[in-house]
């Protein structure tokens, strides 16, 4: 009986110990964050160097940016010393907008922060791509929103060694749908597309929506559109660095070290060939 008492006494101690959970931590560890994409045929721009921010304070994108880092890109036999978009949030850019990123070219990135930390990365730009079947314009959203029909596919040429493509659809005007059409009542001016999941917090924060296509063609997935109206559709042929960071961006809320492509920081130095087009998404009911 004495043994039993001892056992139950031990268990009582355990209950006390087990009843405590850890408090949610408030520790802050600052890290450097880099987001840099080179797009074939476009100037070097939007090279973002930032600091991660504490979880306990309101996130401020503008305040997170490094504006006094030294950012150098080398490639194509040249060295590009980048300047900061001092007042805005576009990050670093190369002053000479006439220089366009070349396909099939190795570029390296070197960043030195004011406190001497060095971040580096390397990317090989993919082969350029072009449209085969463009997005129809205008594009008629199906009348039956519950069972929308399948569209004809859009397609593009394959970029050598690229198997995964990214599609982005950017709404060019989220407010004035009716402005572009004749005989539209005022109530039709602002037209988000209502679906059960559009109630999600933050759904309409971003005007650009993305899709992942392991192919060189795709049917139009109607769920990629958030608004009716004018849109820019772009297809990216990303390198592995860009592709991995896309996975990080779209699928995981928590940073994964296996998806980063820069040394000395969190983030990406990637590249992509890109094609763009515009379309107008007509709503399902007149």
Partner 1 sequence: MQKLIKQILTLCLAIVIMAANLSANSAAASSEYASMSGFVYDSESKETLIGATVYLVGSKKGAYSNKAGFYSITDIEPGKYTVRVTYVGYEKLEYDVTLKKGQSFKKEIFLKSAAVSTNTVTVTAEREVEKRQITVSKINVPIQQIKEIRIGGESDVFRTLQLLPGILTSSQISSGLYVRGGSPDQNLVLLDDAVVYNPTHLFGFLSTFNSDAIKDVEMLKGGFPAEYGGRMSSVLSITQNNGSQKEVQGIGALGLISSKLSLEGPLPGTDGSWFIGGRRTYFDLLTSLMSEDPENPLPDFNFYDLNGKLTFNLSPSDKLFVSGFQSADALQYDTYGVNFRMDIGNRLGAIKWTHIWDDNFFSDVIVSGSHYFNKFKGDQTGYEFLINNAITDYSTKIKTEWLVNDKLTVKSGFEYTNFHFQYLQNYSGDTDSTQQGGGGQTNLNLFDNNYSAYLQTNLQANQHLSFQLGGRANYWNLSDQFTVDPRAAARYQFNEGFAIKVAWGLFHQNLRLATQPDFSFFDTWMPSDTSVAGPGRSDQYIFTVETNPMEGFDLNVDLYYKKLHNINELNDKSLEGETVADVLFFGKGRAYGAEVFLQKKYGRLTGWVGYGLGWIFAQFDTINGGREFSPKYDRRHDLKIVAQYKINDSWDIGGTFTLQSGQPYTGASSRFQTKLPGQNYGDGKTVPSQRYGLRLPASHQLNLNGSYKFKMFGLASRVILDIYNVYNRRDIWFRYYNTQSETTTVEDVKLLPIIPTFSIEVKF
Q: Residue 32 carries which DSSP code?
A: E
Residue 132 contacts partner 1 per CB under 8 A: no
Instruction: Give min distance, CB of 144 to partner 1, in A.
Output: 9
Applying the rule CB under 8 A, the residues between 178 and 217 that interact with partner 1 are: 195-196, 200-202, 205-208, 210, 212-215, 217
Given candidates 103, 110, 239, 244, which one binds partner 1 under the rule CB under 8 A? 244
Cβ atoms of residues 272 and 124 within 8 Å: no
Q: What is the dihedral of CA 58, 24, 249, 72, to 10 degrees?
A: 70
| 221 binds partner 1, rule: CB under 8 A | yes
Residue from the set 151, 155, 278, 284 that interacts with partner 1 by CB under 8 A:
151
Can residue 247 be called a binding residue for partner 1 (CB under 8 A)?
yes
Going by C-alpha positions, the residue among 43, 45, 121, 107 that lies closest to residue 75 is 107
Task: Identify the residue among 37, 80, 156, 177 touching partner 1 (CB under 8 A).
Answer: 37
Decide whether 9 or 79 has the Cβ nearer to partner 1. Answer: 9
User: Of 123, 227, 232, nearest to 167 (Cα)?
Assistant: 232
- The single-letter DSSP state of residue 65 is B
CB of residue 163 to partner 1, shortest distance in Å: 3
The answer to whether 104 and 127 are in contact (CB under 8 A) is yes
Binding marks (x or -) toward partner 1, 67..106, rule CB under 8 A? ----------------------------------------
25 contact partners, CB below 8 Å, separation of at least 6: none
80, 246, 269, 280: which one binds partner 1 (CB under 8 A): 246
Two tokens, residue 279: 């379309």
Residue 33 found at the interface with partner 1 (CB under 8 A): yes
Tell me if 258 contacts partner 1 by CB under 8 A.
yes
What is the b/e burial string over 191-223, where b = at least 16 CB atoms within 10 angstroms of the residue's CB? bbbeeeeeeeeeeeeeeebbbebeebebebebe
Q: How many residues bind partner 1 (CB under 8 A)?
A: 92
115 binds partner 1 (CB under 8 A): no
């Amino acid at each position: 009986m004495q043994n039993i008492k001892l056992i139950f006494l031990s268990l009582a101690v355990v209950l006390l110990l087990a009843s405590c959970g850890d408090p949610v931590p408030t520790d802050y560890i600052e890290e450097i964050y880099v987001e840099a994409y080179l797009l074939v045929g476009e100037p070097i721009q939007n090279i973002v160097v930032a600091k991660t921010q504490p979880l306990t304070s309101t996130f401020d994108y503008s305040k997170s940016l490094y504006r006094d880092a030294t950012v150098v890109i080398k490639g194509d036999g040249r060295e590009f010393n980048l300047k900061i978009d001092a007042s805005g949030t576009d990050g670093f850019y190369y002053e000479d907008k006439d220089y366009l990123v070349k396909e099939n070219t190795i570029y390296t990135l070197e960043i030195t922060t004011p406190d001497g930390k060095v971040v580096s990365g390397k990317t090989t730009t993919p082969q350029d791509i072009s449209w085969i079947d463009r997005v129809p314009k205008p594009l008629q959203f199906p009348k039956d929103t519950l069972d929308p029909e399948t569209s004809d596919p859009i397609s593009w040429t394959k970029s050598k060694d690229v198997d995964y493509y990214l599609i982005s659809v950017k709404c060019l005007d989220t407010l004035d749908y009716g402005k572009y059409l004749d005989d539209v009542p005022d109530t039709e001016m602002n037209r988000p597309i209502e679906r059960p999941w559009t109630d999600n917090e933050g759904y309409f924060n971003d005007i650009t929506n993305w899709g992942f296509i392991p192919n060189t063609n795709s049917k139009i997935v109607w769920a990629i559109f958030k608004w009716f109206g004018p849109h820019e559709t772009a297809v990216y042929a990303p390198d592995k660095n860009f592709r991995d960071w896309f996975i990080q961006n779209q699928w995981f809320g928590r940073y994964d070290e296996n998806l980063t492509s820069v040394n000395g920081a969190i983030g990406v130095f990637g590249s992509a060939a890109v094609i763009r087009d515009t379309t107008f998404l007509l709503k399902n009911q007149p």
